[in-house]
Amino acid sequence: MKKIRCPKCDETIIFDEKRFEGGRTLVFECPSCKKQFKIRMPSKNEPSEQAEEEKDVVGELVVLENSFQLKQVLPLYEGLNTIGRKVKGTDLTSPILTVDPSIDSFHCKINVIRNKQGNYVFSLSDAPSNTGTFLNNKILGDTEKANVAHGDIINLGASTIILKEKGKEDEE
């Protein structure tokens, strides 16, 4: 079951996404305010999704639910991960499904590399964005890079994101 929210009154609507094939556009009518709106079901055969599935996931970004979006979990891969608001025509490795206008379509990036000990190192930098990228409530400068660790909090616009490193979820 999938939850979506009415863009007008924020009423939660639940539907079974498995009943609809990927790539279709669905039209909903809010039972509360009668607003009609559309959503597009993601296609399982989109090339960008297939390419990412072949890589090993080394961590994830947990986007917390707020008035602009539902909770989301975005995978992180070794190499450059680009993060921003999902907009048609934008090629991001970690797109956030949101209506928050304060998140740019390309907001920030996280570079993941292995150090000499074989551990992953996560490095965060602003794209640069219009509203800035915050790490643990401190704004990053346009050219500044900061290491990000498991449990750190990243703020993009009105969104709060928590970095989770693979294998460290069980240690808490």
Instruction: Please report where in the chains the tokens 């993601």 appear, as a residue.
Output: 42
Q: Are 84 and 127 in contact (CB under 8 A)?
A: yes
Q: Are residues 33 and 53 in the same domain?
A: no
Distances (CA, A) of 101 to 40, 118, 129: 20, 38, 12
Q: Residue 48 pLDDT > 70, yes or no?
A: no
Q: pLDDT tier at 171 (50, 70, 90 boundaries)?
A: low
Residues 102 and 128 in one domain: yes
Domain of 28? 2-40
At residue 84 the predicted structure's pLDDT band, cuts being 50, 70 and 90, is very high
CATH number for the domain that contains residue 78: 2.60.200.20
- Do 51 and 26 share a structural domain? no
User: What is the maximal distance between C-alpha atoms in the chain?
Assistant: 58
- Based on the fold, state whether residues 18 and 100 are members of the same structural domain: no
One domain for residues 109 and 135: yes
* pLDDT tens for each residue of 117-159: 989 999 999 998 999 999 999 999 888 999 999 999 999 999 9
In terms of domains, do 18 and 75 share one?
no
Q: Are residues 58 and 122 in the same domain?
A: yes
pLDDT (average), residues 82-87: 94
pLDDT of amino acid 31: 92
- pLDDT value of residue 133: 96
Bridge partners of residue 77, in order along the sequence? 57
Domains of the chain: total: 2
Q: Please check whether residues 68 and 87 belong to one and the same domain.
A: yes
Max mean pLDDT among 4-13, 19-28, 53-62, 82-91 falls in 82-91
Whether residue 137 sits in one domain with residue 56: yes
pLDDT-derived band at 5 (thresholds 50, 70, 90) equals confident
Specify the pLDDT at position 50. Answer: 43
Q: Both 12 and 76 in a single domain?
A: no
CA torsion sign for 96, 99, 100, 102 is positive
Are residues 156 and 83 in contact, defined by beta-carbon separation less than 8 angstroms?
yes
Do 35 and 62 belong together in one domain?
A: no
Same domain, 67 and 142: yes
Q: First and final CA of the chain: distance in angstroms?
A: 29
pTM: 0.66
Rounded CA separation 24/40 (Å): 6
